[in-house]
Amino acid sequence: MLWLIRHAEVERRYQGIFGGQIDMDLSPRGHEQAAALAAYLHHHRFEALYASPMKRVQQTLAPARLNGIPTPTILPGLKEVDFGEWTGLSWDQVQEKFGVGATSWLTQLEAGTIAGAESAAALQARLEPCLRQILAGHPGQRVAVVCHGGVIRMLLAMLLGWPLSRLAAFEVEYASITQVVWRGQEARLHLLNFAPWRDCGNG
């Protein structure tokens, strides 16, 4: 089983923008979310853990590492999407500057129409070696992958065979867990967007 875990809330100045590959820190609330996540993960066993190298992911992992999770294998390919000219802009600024509804960002990535950004095809090509390494190395095992919202959506699209734009139908919350059962060549979504800090009464 794959546990796809998003990093916790980022510092306030980067909330509500296309942060992408800006290497930002967690907010105070983000550190609280990370602590709640660590407490929840402490009751579960993992054979392996993979993580993005970005600061917000490493800070999310810090309290969990004190609770005895496996030492993470850092995969640079798990970095967040590069949003090109949208990087650092709010949704309203994207609408004003480019005349595009920012809520359609997955569709825009799929079409490759965000100037200077990774297309969905480029993101998939970046993530494919990571996913192959993880699945091939741990058949039948429980593996955690701690990364980013855009990366989690693309991994789900790849595993489930869905268009990336279809993943706009649900949220991937800060410090949330999404589980996918992988058997042979078949994937099944087991749990979606479960946030311990919110859903276990810790927030």
Please confirm, yes or no, whether 7 is among the known catalytic residues: yes
* From 7, 9, 110, 118, active-site residue: 7
Q: Which contacts (CB < 8 Å, 24+ apart) does range 43-49 have?
A: 44/142, 45/142, 46/3, 46/70, 46/142, 46/143, 46/144, 47/138, 47/141, 47/142, 47/143, 48/73, 48/134, 48/137, 48/138, 48/141, 48/143, 48/144, 49/73, 49/143, 49/144, 49/145, 49/146
In the three-class reduction of DSSP (H, G, I as helix; E, B as strand; rest coil), residue 143 is classed as: strand
- Choosing from 80, 110, 118, 173, the catalytic residue is 80
Which of the residues are catalytic? Answer: 7, 80
